[in-house]
């Protein structure tokens, strides 16, 4: 996670610096970034650019600093408070979807502190569907339905779950596997009927080729058209893939930014080695050295081709789904 830390006293700053280094050593991108700003100013900046905010100080300061910037549980970053003595770690925002609870537990382990977790499902040892989804790399497409599912589980009721893919491990208490049409929770690429909670894997790789100078608006319009036809949400895109000849193509770079996904490129030799049944183009092979760019690029990391090449306005696009390895083991 990209994390920013702030502290307000010398003791707090010493702890924040130590914690930033420890978190960085554990794979996070963490830094103390106050730079002389007031807490409210710092929070405004950090909210827009980071996945998690860590306040080393009083919880009240954190609450007042973040209050003007709260938008929605599906988009707000994780916010965690650590007292400057390093005794308690308190997640105060986006405990499940944003990962604040897991971050608090991780920080507490690093500091030998006590994580103060207050979300009802955690306190009662009940399956938290939104927390599990985040750990599995799944999107919660209609987060307004989380409350209904959690309320049923907390009341001791059974919740029907459908998954289009196998999930290893023991099914959590309170869940039963049912058909798609009878499920209260549906894990699938495509939107379910009714008001079921929809979980969708953020594992769709977009393969794309284009003529030189094709603008981002044209590329984006084609991608949106194809995703809409397939019933796949744009947020499910995990990577934009193409041949390395196009790595400096501005339209592709801007599209990757708009998708908040990396632009991944492959050489003609790498694409030629991708196994599968692809749509060949003699012209593309003459220009690039490989008979197909978009389908091969989408499948370069393996998986399943969801959509063969679609060509329009000087661009081509294909969709692939990465291999999924889902497990119930991390549900608590």
Q: What is the mean pLDDT of the chain?
A: 93
Question: How confident is residue 60, by pLDDT bands cut at 50, 70 and 90?
Answer: very high
pLDDT at 176: 96
Residues shown for the chain: 332
Convert the pLDDT of each residue in 71-86 to its tens digit.
Answer: 888 889 999 999 999 9
| H runs (alpha helix) in the chain | 10-25, 39-49, 59-66, 100-111, 120-123, 129-135, 146-154, 216-230, 250-259, 268-272, 282-288, 294-298
Measured at the CA of 25, the angle between CA 42 and CA 5, to 5 degrees, comes to 10
Q: Is the pLDDT of residue 105 over 90?
A: yes
User: In the chain, what is the straight-line distance between the N-terminal and C-terminal CA atoms, in Å?
Assistant: 20
Q: Which residue has the higher pLDDT, 234 or 36?
A: 234
Convert the pLDDT of each residue in 270-305 to its tens digit.
Answer: 999 999 889 888 888 888 888 899 999 999 988 999
Within 10 A of 117 (CB to CB), how many other CB atoms are there?
18
Convert the pLDDT of each residue in 134-145 to its tens digit.
Answer: 999 999 999 999
179 close to 113: Cβ distance less than 8 angstroms: no
Identify the structural domains of the chain with CATH numbers, from first to last: 2-118 (3.40.50.11220), 129-201 (3.40.1390.40), 204-321 (3.30.420.180)
Helix (H) or strand (E) holding 139, with range, is: strand 138-140
pLDDT at 132: 95
Question: How confident is residue 330, by pLDDT bands cut at 50, 70 and 90?
Answer: low
Convert the pLDDT of each residue in 209-220 to its tens digit.
Answer: 999 999 999 999
pLDDT at 21: 96
For 45, 120, 173, 240, the CA distances from 157, given in Å and listed in that order, are: 42, 15, 10, 42
Q: 182 pairs with which residues across the strands?
A: none
pLDDT at 147: 92
Of all residues in the chain, what percent carry a pLDDT higher than 70? 99
pLDDT at 133: 94
β-strands 138-140, 304-312 pairing: unpaired
Q: Is the pLDDT of residue 227 over 90?
A: yes
For 116, 122, 138, 197, 223, the CA distances from 143, given in Å and listed in that order, are: 24, 18, 12, 7, 25
Q: Is the pLDDT of residue 264 over 90?
A: yes
Tokens of 259: 């998708």
């Amino acid at each position: 996670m990209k994390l920013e830390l702030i502290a307000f006293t010398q003791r707090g700053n010493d702890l924040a610096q130590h914690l930033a280094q420890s978190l960085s050593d554990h794979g996070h991108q963490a830094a103390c970034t106050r730079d002389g700003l007031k807490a409210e100013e710092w929070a405004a900046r950090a909210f827009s650019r980071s996945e998690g905010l860590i306040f080393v100080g009083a919880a009240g300061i954190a609450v007042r600093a973040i209050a003007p910037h709260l938008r929605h549980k599906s988009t707000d970053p994780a916010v965690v408070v650590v007292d400057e003595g390093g005794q308690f770690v308190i997640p105060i925002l986006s405990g499940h979807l944003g990962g604040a609870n897991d971050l608090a537990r991780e920080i507490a382990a690093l500091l030998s502190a006590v994580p103060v977790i207050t979300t009802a499902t955690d306190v009662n040892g009940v399956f938290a569907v939104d927390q599990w989804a985040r750990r599995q790399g799944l999107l919660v497409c209609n987060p307004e339905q989380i409350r209904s599912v959690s309320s049923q589980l907390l009341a001791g009721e059974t919740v029907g779950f459908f998954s289009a893919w196998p999930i290893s491990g023991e099914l959590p208490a309170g869940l039963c596997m049912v058909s798609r049409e009878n499920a209260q929770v549906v894990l699938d690429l495509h939107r379910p009927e009714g008001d079921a909670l929809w979980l969708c894997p953020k594992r769709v790789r977009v393969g794309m080729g284009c003529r030189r100078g094709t603008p981002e608006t044209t590329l984006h319009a084609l991608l949106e058209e194809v995703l809409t036809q397939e019933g796949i949400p744009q947020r499910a895109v995990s990577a934009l893939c193409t041949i390395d000849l196009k790595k400096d193509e501005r339209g592709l770079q801007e599209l990757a930014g708009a998708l908040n996904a990396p632009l991944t490129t492959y050489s003609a030799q790498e694409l030629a080695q991708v196994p599968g049944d692809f749509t060949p183009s003699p012209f593309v092979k003459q220009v690039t050295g490989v008979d197909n760019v978009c389908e091969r690029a989408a499948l370069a990391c393996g998986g399943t081709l969801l959509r063969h090449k679609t060509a329009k306005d000087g661009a081509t696009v294909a969709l692939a789904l990465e291999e999924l390895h889902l497990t119930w083991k991390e549900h608590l």
